Structure 1
Amino acid sequence: MKRINNLILALAGLFAVACADTFEERYDLSVNTDKYSVDATAARLPITVYCSGAWTAQLAAESAWATLSRTSGSGITTIHLDCADNSGLARSVGVVLRGSGLEKSITVVQKAGITAPELIFLAKDLAFANGAYKGTTAFETNLPDELLREVVPAVTYASEGDAWISDIAYHADDTEAGETEIPLARRGLITFSTTANATGEPRTATVDFSVEDANGNVFGDSFTVTQSADEGRITLSDDVVPIEGGKRTVAFSTNLGALLGEMKTEVTYADPAAAGFISNVELGAESLTYDISENTGVEKRYATITVSYTDLAGNVISASSSITQRVTAQPREIPFADLRALFTAEDKPYASDEDHIDYLLCRVIGDAGNPNMDQNVNTGPNSITTDENDRTNYVQSLDGMYGFRLKFASAADNACLRGEQVKILLDGVILSRESDPMRYTLRGVKAENVEKVAGAAALEPKVRTISTLTDDDLYTYCTLSGLEFSVKEGAYANVREYDAILNPYNEGITFASGTQAQRAKDGAANLLYDGSNDAIYMLVNMNCAWRRTGQSVPQGVGSVSGIVVHTPMERWGGNVGRYSIRPFDEADIDVARAEASSYAKLVEWRLDKGVVSVGAYVWNDGSGYTVGNATNSAAQLVQNRMHATTDNTDGSARLYSENRMLNQTVTADRSYPVAIVHGYRGLSASNYVAGDGTTMGMSKYTMLAFCGNVAGWYDWNGNTWTGKTNGIVMEFPTSGVGGSAAAVSFSIAAGKHSTNEAACSWTNASSYPVYWKVEYATSTDNGATWSDWTEAVNAATGVRGFEMRSLPWCINNSATRTSIFDTANQSGVYTQSDFGFGLVPYRFVLPADVLGKSKVRVRISPSSDIIATWNAGLGNYGLGQTYRNVRVARTYPFAIANAVYVEDLSIQYK
């Protein structure tokens, strides 16, 4: 193109010469084009100026990258524009020509040296709290620094109001951006300031940072700034570090997120001498991380990591993380009193702190394998525990002050022997507290929780009396002094084992083995009392080989040692007192064999085979008796009134029933409701072993049956209960008898008497009153007038009255021995009442006021109209008898053979 233009000019020149004589060519100011384009590389651009006269040339503005070869001339002249290399955006420069009175502008555009120009902010949304802060945001770009320095950012506010963003500034950063989509990118920063937000509402603004090239293309980006109305906040969690240390992470949060990079972290150490074990502290958007070295010392290490930011007003916003590094956990003894304080109403597992392995140092006062540690319980209608005893042990503090019951996870875990000193590692053990009385159990103990410290040593029991026992004595080894048995006949477990019920837990055990009741793994409660007229039940399980020894219990006075427990015995009327005692073996029963007592006998009603005369009534023959009738008094052993078998008064003591007649109507063959029951205790010759003192485990004395319709225990006005009851009455004089106290003792239960089977039972068709009371009245005029009835207090429980125990079903035929539920068409359901016969012994305190009277009456009678009804086992399955608040009605179709069975009746005084 240049060659063609030059040729044209040459021809024009020749033509001008040729025609010189004809005319002269003149040019106004002109150029070939008013816009040139050059490459980004350095170049020399020729520009031809056409002008007939003088002309001048100059750049429109000072330029650092373009210069003119000459700035003036005359005529047609070619000048040059020298362009430097362009490393940035497309750029332009203007050349202004003046001549012949004219002015012409030329634009020269140099192409961009950047392949793909770009500017991108790394954070598009910056959040700030209320306050004056300096904000910083980074961008990546390949635009030249000199270009960016000239940019004036534009701020757009979402809402009208004061401009709250100021001091926006660009800061060059030569750091390479690293991996990015922008070719040859580097970093840059924009800083700005915010003012405090007084609006009470969040506010937003947009900051635009961009440039325009010579071709009108815009390159840049924007970011949004949001400021809340909340004050600045930083939170940082604490950390507990294991011994080995390592990389750690703690939670961090702030509403100063846009200022994260400006926050400072600082580590301080509690012990300056140990400084330096924390390093590489890094702050992220949601966490703080750091490295901590292994703790090889014996002390815990402490440090604090603080994160802070100082705003433009000098206010410091900060938070700290307390760092604790553990050491190897050390064994730590927890005293009994301290451990008791950790028990709550809810069971909870024990957990040592991170620095300790806590243990309880104690003495074993129970014994692995001892059969008298605890009672089996019902856990459901068809579920009787058989390992409760074997999983149970007891420990007490070395000084004997406090005790705990241990419930091992399994019987195999229970290997603690009596007298051993052990450590119980507490981690994972369940702390279980029961109240009224307050007692403490460690549950879920495993073999690995127990460390033996010393071998077995003799135990020194605490010496107590019944009245001095407190809740602190529970689960400790105590000796109770001055005790004697309430029933001084029979075995320690004074029950008739022959009639233990066959159920899935003892089936396959033949009667000949003599261990049927033992296999049932149940327990009996035998009553003891002392000279202070206090009583306590001694609990003996049927697996104890010494429960029956072939001779009667000791008949004198002495001491009994054992573990003090609280064990509700539902099969024995439920409440057997706040405290009971469990001996380890017979050696713990240090009671004299020879008969002795703190009390004197006043009267007794007790029958055995050796008694040939009972008051005015005689045996029918040498081996039995014949039930009499209303017209043959000579043949009756017992009528409505019975003489005392032992009478240390004037011989007028009598026992009778106010529930006098069955169905309240005299019948020809059963007018009088008091009868003896043979085949149950001692009157059956086949069950009596001469010189044994017991009959199949029970005392040799027989029962007295107070027979009658259950409605007969209540007084009626037609079919309406009057609120009065009938009772069993002991009447005796105390004239000339003095002393400080008296008591009435008896053993009792209720159910159905079957003469055909010589057994007792109760079913849906037979019932009895549930709640009973004992009361007394006195007369000073030989019975002409009487004082009001006063209720006596149960010596073992401290309450008035008792709950009658039901007698379970039994059949003497071992081949067909079945459960009550089989009889009641409820086959396959077994409960705690499935156990052999045994009357519950009671002792009620009488005041000295009953002494020195011409007549005294002691009365055992119902205290409410609630009667027992059989539950099919699906609810209240754990009770010795169950009832549904059924109330007596005179017309209820009860079986007429109901009875309340009583034995061991006696009146004592001192």
Structure 2
Amino acid sequence: MPGDIIGLQRPAADVHRVADAAQDLLGLVETSAQAVTERNPGAASDLIRKEKSIGQLTDEDIYTYVSLREVEFALPDGSYTNVNEGYFGTANHTSCVPRTLCDKDGGAISMLVNNKTPWRRDGSGMPKGKGTLSGVIVHDLQPRYGYTNEGYIGRYSVRVLEKEEIDLAASESSSNRQTLVEWNWNNAEVRTNADGTIAPDRGNGSLWCTDPAAKYLLDNEYNGLTTSAGLNSKNALKFENTYWWDFAENTGYAVALKFSTEGAGANLSLNFTNSQGNAGGTSIYGPVYWQVEYSTDGVNFTVLPESGFCCRPFVYWQGAGGKDLSYCAVPGYADRVFILPDALRNRPEVTLLIKARSTQCIASNTATVDQGDTGTITSDMAANKRSPMRFGTIAVKSNK
């Protein structure tokens, strides 16, 4: 309406004041530009270096360059970006991958590797020993990996600037940590115990699903050393044919592992990589929220404090346009590290449960961050909506 247009006009005096302010700002920009005498490329060596352990980091370290002492990768299989490379670098797809670092004091932090980093998969794999890793400390949100819709993956993460800043020993012999028991399926085979449970590849123990109806088989993971060989077939274990919820008892089913901790050092931990789904539009409705529980008698279990984690389904293509799941899809297996109670050390038998904590699942295959994980698993859902859980490595470690 004409009256509305007149009502939005500024008085002449205001227009003049705005013009004067703009002119002042332009003059400031011109003066600042003239003050620049030369430009030189920067390098990591130019930065002021601080040395700290993971546990010593504070908010004052955010956006500063820090050298982290005595760290190592918690799960050093494969490459720095164990994902399906086809989902890197385009709209709505993954821009970086978090890999978890740990130290002998029980500290853990994610190292973020961008999807265009040239050394992400250069054929050399990952260092398996300890050393110093330097980079810029950030507070970064990763909705695909984070526990909440906001993508919280820990208060601090580290971004390295050059591969040379990952100054860790290649050999596991230099590690501060020892492996008590590990399931990894790197030989593309499943070994079983006399009771039918799954035997580990290192050490002694048992692994099974607490849902009697569940079945297991080997499937793919993405731990290839080069970008042209990102997919490794039959190097991960998949439990399927379960909703992961006991509707009669109103509690979650779990992946259980039993082992001895005799000879364990300090900072006993459960380390594993996992994801869920079959990379398709039906099997995406698995439980999003999980937790770890522990027991020394196999009967009475206690929830491990701060062990809640988020596991969203695999990414997959939708339709001819190639659009994928929005915020919730992960194109690989995510790292998990949980410090276990000191009371579990030097026990003849410890049982851990990686257990669904609710029936909450993603809202749909087009869910956005705002819609979040607002779906619900029900007993009358179609059988093809049972979402499998996948594990690339499951290990229990401690200090030497």
Pairwise TM-score range, normalised by the shorter structure: 0.7 to 0.9
Aligned partner (choices 360, 380, 387) of residue 891 of structure 1: 380
Matched, 1:801 2:311: no
Q: Indicate the residue corresponding to 2:211 in structure 1.
A: 659
Q: Indicate the residue corresponding to 2:219 in structure 1.
A: 677
Whether the 8 Å CA contact 1:643–1:654 is kept in 2: the answer is yes
CA distance in 1, matches of 2:284, 2:267: 39
Q: For the structure 1 residues 581 and 870, does the alpha-carbon distance in structure 2 shift closer, same or farther, using more than 3 Å as the test?
A: same
CA distance in 2, matches of 1:468, 1:555: 23
Q: Deviations over 1:839-897 (max 9, x none)?
A: 10010010221112221111111112212232535xx2x58xx6452222211224166
1:789 positional shift: 1.6
Matches for 1:462-481 after TM superposition, within 5 Å = 462-481=50-69
Matched, 1:789 2:302: yes
Q: Indicate the residue corresponding to 2:288 in structure 1.
A: 770
CA distance in 2, matches of 1:801, 1:655: 21
Q: Which consecutive residues of structure 2, in runs of 5 or more, have no partner in the other structure?
A: 1-20
Q: For the structure 1 residues 607 and 564, does the alpha-carbon distance in structure 2 shift closer, same or farther, using more than 3 Å as the test?
A: same
TM-score when normalising by structure 1: 0.37
Name whichever structure is richer in strand by fraction.
Answer: 1
Whether the 8 Å CA contact 1:608–1:700 is kept in 2: the answer is no
Q: RMSD between aligned alpha carbons? A: 3.5
1:838 positional shift: 1.1
1:830 positional shift: 5.3
Q: Which consecutive residues of structure 1, in runs of 5 or more, have no partner in the other structure?
A: 1-350, 358-424, 429-446, 507-519, 618-638, 663-672, 683-687, 753-760, 794-799, 810-818
- The amino acid across from 1:705 in the alignment is K
- The amino acid across from 1:900 in the alignment is M
CA distance in 1, matches of 2:329, 2:336: 20
Matches for 1:540-619 after TM superposition, within 5 Å = 540-573=113-146, 574-595=151-172, 596-609=174-187, 614-615=191-192
Matched, 1:643 2:199: yes
Matches for 1:179-218 after TM superposition, within 5 Å = none
1:778 positional shift: 1.2
Matches for 1:875-886 after TM superposition, within 5 Å = 876=368, 878=369, 883=372, 885-886=374-375
CA distance in 2, matches of 1:705, 1:450: 61
Matches for 1:478-489 after TM superposition, within 5 Å = 478-489=66-77
Whether the 8 Å CA contact 1:766–1:894 is kept in 2: the answer is no
Q: Deviations over 1:366-388 (max 9, x none)?
A: xxxxxxxxxxxxxxxxxxxxxxx
Q: Deviations over 1:239-292 (max 9, x none)?
A: xxxxxxxxxxxxxxxxxxxxxxxxxxxxxxxxxxxxxxxxxxxxxxxxxxxxxx
1:773 positional shift: 0.6
Whether the 8 Å CA contact 1:500–1:836 is kept in 2: the answer is no
CA distance in 2, matches of 1:714, 1:836: 22
1:485 positional shift: 0.8
Q: Indicate the residue corresponding to 1:696 in structure 2.
A: 229
Q: Indicate the residue corresponding to 2:355 in structure 1.
A: 861
CA distance in 1, matches of 2:34, 2:96: 29
Aligned partner (choices 708, 714, 726) of residue 253 of structure 2: 726
Matches for 1:84-483 after TM superposition, within 5 Å = 448=33, 451=36, 455=40, 456=42, 458-483=46-71
CA distance in 1, matches of 2:202, 2:226: 19
Whether the 8 Å CA contact 2:143–2:328 is kept in 1: the answer is no
CA distance in 1, matches of 2:126, 2:233: 12
Whether the 8 Å CA contact 2:245–2:251 is kept in 1: the answer is yes
Whether the 8 Å CA contact 2:274–2:391 is kept in 1: the answer is yes
1:700 positional shift: 8.5
3-state secondary structure, aligned to 2:161? coil
1:832 positional shift: 4.8
Q: Deviations over 1:397-452 (max 9, x none)?
A: xxxxxxxxxxxxxxxxxxxxxxxxxxxx9x79xxxxxxxxxxxxxxxxxx959946
Q: For the structure 1 residues 502 and 469, does the alpha-carbon distance in structure 2 shift closer, same or farther, using more than 3 Å as the test?
A: closer
Q: For the structure 1 residues 544 and 766, does the alpha-carbon distance in structure 2 shift closer, same or farther, using more than 3 Å as the test?
A: closer
Whether the 8 Å CA contact 1:525–1:539 is kept in 2: the answer is yes
Q: For the structure 1 residues 867 and 532, does the alpha-carbon distance in structure 2 shift closer, same or farther, using more than 3 Å as the test?
A: same
- The amino acid across from 2:171 in the alignment is A
Q: Deviations over 1:196-253 (max 9, x none)?
A: xxxxxxxxxxxxxxxxxxxxxxxxxxxxxxxxxxxxxxxxxxxxxxxxxxxxxxxxxx
Matched, 1:491 2:79: yes
Matched, 1:908 2:381: no
Which structure is higher in RCO with an 8 Å CA cutoff and minimum separation 6?
Answer: 2
CA distance in 2, matches of 1:763, 1:868: 12
Aligned partner (choices 852, 856, 860) of residue 346 of structure 2: 852
Q: Indicate the residue corresponding to 1:737 in structure 2.
A: 263
Whether the 8 Å CA contact 1:746–1:906 is kept in 2: the answer is yes
3-state secondary structure, aligned to 1:805? coil
- The amino acid across from 1:889 in the alignment is T
3-state secondary structure, aligned to 1:895? helix
- The amino acid across from 2:332 in the alignment is G
Name whichever structure is richer in helix by fraction.
Answer: 2
Whether the 8 Å CA contact 1:808–1:836 is kept in 2: the answer is yes
Whether the 8 Å CA contact 1:483–1:558 is kept in 2: the answer is yes
Whether the 8 Å CA contact 1:772–1:862 is kept in 2: the answer is yes
Q: Indicate the residue corresponding to 2:14 in structure 1.
A: none
CA distance in 2, matches of 1:613, 1:762: 25
CA distance in 1, matches of 2:267, 2:94: 39
Whether the 8 Å CA contact 1:770–1:866 is kept in 2: the answer is yes
CA distance in 2, matches of 1:849, 1:695: 45
Matched, 1:715 2:246: yes
Whether the 8 Å CA contact 1:500–1:834 is kept in 2: the answer is no
Q: Indicate the residue corresponding to 1:82 in structure 2.
A: none
3-state secondary structure, aligned to 1:601? strand
1:477 positional shift: 0.8
Whether the 8 Å CA contact 1:765–1:893 is kept in 2: the answer is no
1:831 positional shift: 5.9
Aligned partner (choices 84, 89, 96) of residue 523 of structure 1: 96
1:490 positional shift: 1.1
Matches for 1:505-524 after TM superposition, within 5 Å = 505=91, 522-524=95-97
Whether the 8 Å CA contact 2:287–2:356 is kept in 1: the answer is yes
CA distance in 2, matches of 1:745, 1:698: 22
3-state secondary structure, aligned to 1:702? strand
Whether the 8 Å CA contact 1:490–1:693 is kept in 2: the answer is no
Q: For the structure 1 residues 477 and 778, does the alpha-carbon distance in structure 2 shift closer, same or farther, using more than 3 Å as the test?
A: same
Whichever of the two has the greater Rg, that structure is 1
Q: For the structure 1 residues 694 and 676, does the alpha-carbon distance in structure 2 shift closer, same or farther, using more than 3 Å as the test?
A: farther
1:543 positional shift: 0.7
Residues matched between the structures, number: 369
- The amino acid across from 1:905 in the alignment is I
CA distance in 2, matches of 1:656, 1:898: 17
Whether the 8 Å CA contact 1:496–1:696 is kept in 2: the answer is no
- The amino acid across from 1:773 in the alignment is Q
Q: For the structure 1 residues 890 and 831, does the alpha-carbon distance in structure 2 shift closer, same or farther, using more than 3 Å as the test?
A: closer
1:764 positional shift: 4.8
Q: For the structure 1 residues 843 and 715, does the alpha-carbon distance in structure 2 shift closer, same or farther, using more than 3 Å as the test?
A: same
Q: For the structure 1 residues 694 and 608, does the alpha-carbon distance in structure 2 shift closer, same or farther, using more than 3 Å as the test?
A: farther
**Identity between Structure 1 and Structure 2 (%):** 25
- The amino acid across from 1:740 in the alignment is A
1:772 positional shift: 0.6
TM-score when normalising by structure 2: 0.81
1:600 positional shift: 1.3
Q: Indicate the residue corresponding to 1:633 in structure 2.
A: none
3-state secondary structure, aligned to 2:125? coil
